[in-house]
Structure 1
Amino acid sequence: MLSVFYSRIAPSIDTLAQSRALRCLAVISLVGTLAACGTTAPPPSLPVVTPPEPVIETPVVETPEPVEELVATGLVPPHMADRELARVAILLPFSADNSSARSEALRLLHSAELALFERGSGNLLMIPKDTQGTPQGARDAAQAAVEDGADIIIGPLFGPAVTAASQVARQAGIPIIAFTTDTTVAGDGVYLMSFPPEIEVARIVEYATRQGVERFAYLGPQNRYGMAVYSALQDNAALTGGSVAAESFYTGDVEAMARASARLAEGVFEPLTPEEADELRRETWVPDPEAPFQAVILPEGGTRLRALGPLLISQAVDPLVVRFLGTGLWNDPDLLREPALLGGWFAGPDLDARTAFETAYRASYGNDPSRIASLAYDAMSLAAHLDGGERGFSREAIEEDQGFMGADGLFRFRESGLIERGLAIYEMRSRGLREIEPAPLTFEPVDAF
């Protein structure tokens, strides 16, 4: 029987999250046992384990403090007392002030449970801890995980929380697999299970270069995400022998986006005649060797991207001539309704693997997972894979050069703590995404990342 222990989760988790979680969880006192929902009945109630009161009347009596006992032996459920346990702490903002963070925490927890039931052995113990959505809460949660004997920590969700938790984990020699995209917190035992835009840009630039693109352009927001994409575009264009020939940034609403589009295309392209457009539609797209830039990357998603594409076309930047490129934000079925984006390319995870995960999640919990819920599934699957291995939860094992296959396809961690993913290339079509180059099934050996 697989077990999940709940320890020191604040009672302030909102009522909605509790009611959803209780469909699959039974919390017994401060520590309870989780059994799989559905086909099996929940296990019998376990006796409440209460630590002994410290002796204060006679200080000379050598009674070990409860914390010291936990550090030495680790958290042991009574029904698992005869097993050699591997403990996986998962740190999430269950009682954060932000309702979206609380909801995301629950979806991540569900995904980790799903992986535990599918792939875990009978000696794998999951211990959820509440970070409360704050750095101090994350630090306290990490300390509690150390005291419970955690062998590995999954989470937290946000960069500042990862920074705080890692200070405790590094001192205890416990690796962390976190969910933030903040690369500044990675390394020295902290690994980022995320979708960094840098690897998506590297993949799409490499593919576009093989199709003959030499000159790229950037049109996007001047925020942290946009600047990460811009820097990656510059770096990877140079690596492939190309260049960034034009760029235009904006901060604000559609009016700012329109002004930036005009700056990028001012005096650059002439509108196509109907005859020219018809001729180009009949031909396979090839980069125009005379064009000032042959591809433009648009690092937006949702309604903002649906506005940005037509704005660019209104400035005579026609996708029949200039290939529109995207990031993982393009992986959205609603965007297929925008004609300006049809024919555009972006790099993304393997859709077959993702579909299998979503189907299993939906069958277990009755709703759809969030886009990042699979990160917790893969992190717990990795812990289950490493459990019992000769290298255990060591950095050597986590940084396995061959990588691992997860809910979003192939991935591996490098010594830097950053993730490398095997991504496919997709083309936007009116009837759905078309895979034009599959994701790799293996990684090439590399010396550094």
Structure 2
Amino acid sequence: MFALLKAACKAPARVVAALTAAAALTACEPVSMGGGLAGPTLEAGRPVQVALLVPKGSGNAGDAVLAQSLENAARLAMNDLSGVEIDLRVYDTQGNAATAQRVANQAVVEGAKIILGPVYAGNANAAGLAAAQGGVNVLAFSNNASIAGGNVWVLGHTFENTADRLASYAARNGKTRAVVAYSTDVQGQTAAAAVRNAVTRAGGQIVAEVPHEFSQQGVVNAVPKIKSAVDTAGANALYLTANTAGALPLFSQMLPEQGVSSATTQFIGLTRWDIPPQTLALPGVQGGWFALPDPNRTAQFNARYGAAYGSAPHPIASLAYDGMAAVGALASQGRGLGAADLTQNAGFQGTGGVFRLRSNGTNERGLAIATIANQQVRVIDPAPRGFGGAGF
């Protein structure tokens, strides 16, 4: 942590005034700055000062592990940069919005050109509000698109991006009449909306929807409704928004028992079906489709991280690497860190392949399509190496 009082004494009066105003803001709504900020100017030959906001200090052991893994991944990315020097400063958010806002203020006062993190959506929104007053953009480690926009970009994998990739592949393979099953909580409804939009854009049709309560009984009640919807509408695809920690295992068992499986109606999952590995043994996922980052690139990152730090990275540590890689790529090109730079059409190379930041604050990632055969993951459509290829 760095001393706010000392840094503030050195800051220009206009910056201090802006940041004082920011401290009075609440983190209720995403800040809107019309598609991002111009960003501070980078000075040739000088290190690029980057602030990394991590959830250390919350008292939660999981947050401490995550914080260290994010920092490790960011430093690993720094080591890979050629001709670019980074001045990385790490700030602890304690996993809460008020502290995230305070340390974002502090980071800007101390000269940060961009902020990487924080993780949680409310924290990222608060940090974005504070950073906007100092003209600094934020690359958050969230996947919650509701906070995206203005000077905040989310680096996490979004339902929209995943649904677009899957729906496009499904349409090319004739799976255009779809049923979507989703839970009625916020996550399920968000995922279902992404599927609706993606299927329509791809030229397909949602022929039926089956919402269900986020509970075991809700899933049990939904199974015969899904069976009826598939049969009545003549569907050839079933989108399941459930994840492996929720309803997917139960759906995977009960739907085949009711005569609904990928052998007759293509199962398409909006979440990762390969995590944890035990999921690969579930009966209903055999033959299903799901999307994932380039497995080869992911394996390379995991191996390099393990060699450097002696352990596996946290599942979202790769986002810190990706954020730092984007900063380094722009600096090496002699570009800045403003909205126009961050949203360059060519995108960046990250731990799971190519990705780019969109003007609405979300991201687009090159994903592979995989299936599960004999309890093994098999890629059936590789991740694109650039934009303009498969799935885009």
Same fold (TM over 0.5): yes
Matched, 1:247 2:209: yes
The whole-number CA distance in structure 2 between the counterparts of 1:267 and 1:178 is 39
Matched, 1:402 2:343: no
Specify the alignment match of 2:122 in structure 1. 160
**Which of 286, 302, 314 is the matching residue for 1:370?**
314
The whole-number CA distance in structure 2 between the counterparts of 1:381 and 1:243 is 38
Cα distance change on mapping 1:139 and 1:206 into 2, 3 Å: same
**Which of 412, 416, 422 is the matching residue for 2:356?**
412
Q: What's the CA shift for 1:328?
A: 3.3
The whole-number CA distance in structure 2 between the counterparts of 1:315 and 1:117 is 53
Matched, 1:294 2:240: no
Q: What's the CA shift for 1:345?
A: 0.6
Cα distance change on mapping 1:443 and 1:267 into 2, 3 Å: closer
1:56-86 CA distance string (max 9 Å, x none):
xxxxxxxxx75231559x9xxxxxxxx7221
The whole-number CA distance in structure 2 between the counterparts of 1:444 and 1:154 is 27
Specify the alignment match of 1:135 in structure 2. 97
Is contact 1:71–1:149 with CA below 8 Å preserved after alignment? no
1:299-327 CA distance string (max 9 Å, x none):
22325322211211122213211111112
Is contact 1:114–1:377 with CA below 8 Å preserved after alignment? yes
Specify the alignment match of 1:316 in structure 2. 259
What is the identity, as a one-letter code, of the residue corresponding to 1:405?
Q
SS at match of 2:299: helix
Is contact 2:53–2:100 with CA below 8 Å preserved after alignment? yes
Specify the alignment match of 2:286 in structure 1. 342
Q: What's the CA shift for 1:113?
A: 1.4
Matched, 1:7 2:31: no
TM alignment of 1:1-400, pairs within 5 A: 6-7=1-2, 67-70=8-11, 84-119=46-81, 121=83, 123-266=85-228, 269=231, 292-302=234-244, 304-332=247-275, 333-400=277-344
Structure 1: 5+ residue stretches without partners: 1-5, 9-29, 31-50, 52-64, 75-82, 270-289
Specify the alignment match of 1:27 in structure 2. none
SS at match of 1:199: helix
Cα distance change on mapping 1:96 and 1:355 into 2, 3 Å: same
What is the identity, as a one-letter code, of the residue corresponding to 1:317?
V
* 343-352 or 425-434, which deviates more: 425-434
RMSD: 2.4
Cα distance change on mapping 1:133 and 1:291 into 2, 3 Å: same
Identical-pair percentage: 30
Q: What's the CA shift for 1:234?
A: 1.3
The whole-number CA distance in structure 2 between the counterparts of 1:225 and 1:192 is 16
The whole-number CA distance in structure 2 between the counterparts of 1:121 and 1:403 is 19
* 290-299 or 406-415, which deviates more: 290-299
What is the identity, as a one-letter code, of the residue corresponding to 1:299?
T
Q: TM-score, normalised by structure 1?
A: 0.75
* 380-389 or 89-98, which deviates more: 380-389
The whole-number CA distance in structure 2 between the counterparts of 1:211 and 1:419 is 25
Q: What's the CA shift for 1:348?
A: 1.5
The whole-number CA distance in structure 2 between the counterparts of 1:294 and 1:302 is 23
Specify the alignment match of 1:14 in structure 2. none
Q: What's the CA shift for 1:417?
A: 1.4
1:81-140 CA distance string (max 9 Å, x none):
xx7221000011101143323322221111111111222656311000111111110111
Is contact 1:266–1:315 with CA below 8 Å preserved after alignment? no
The whole-number CA distance in structure 1 between the counterparts of 2:312 and 2:222 is 36
Q: What's the CA shift for 1:265?
A: 1.5
SS at match of 1:324: strand
The whole-number CA distance in structure 1 between the counterparts of 2:77 and 2:335 is 21
Specify the alignment match of 1:61 in structure 2. none
The whole-number CA distance in structure 2 between the counterparts of 1:350 and 1:110 is 21
Cα distance change on mapping 1:120 and 1:143 into 2, 3 Å: farther
* 398-407 or 121-130, which deviates more: 121-130
Specify the alignment match of 1:60 in structure 2. none
Specify the alignment match of 2:383 in structure 1. 439
Is contact 2:56–2:95 with CA below 8 Å preserved after alignment? yes
SS at match of 1:127: strand
Q: What's the CA shift for 1:240?
A: 2.6
The whole-number CA distance in structure 2 between the counterparts of 1:373 and 1:357 is 10
Is contact 1:86–1:123 with CA below 8 Å preserved after alignment? yes
Structure 2: 5+ residue stretches without partners: 16-44
Q: What's the CA shift for 1:343?
A: 0.5
Q: What's the CA shift for 1:411?
A: 0.3
Q: What's the CA shift for 1:151?
A: 0.6
Q: Please identify the structure whose Cα radius of gyration is greater.
A: 1
Q: What's the CA shift for 1:252?
A: 3.5
What is the identity, as a one-letter code, of the residue corresponding to 2:117?
G
The whole-number CA distance in structure 1 between the counterparts of 2:214 and 2:176 is 30
Cα distance change on mapping 1:340 and 1:176 into 2, 3 Å: same
* 328-337 or 164-173, which deviates more: 328-337
Is contact 1:350–1:409 with CA below 8 Å preserved after alignment? yes
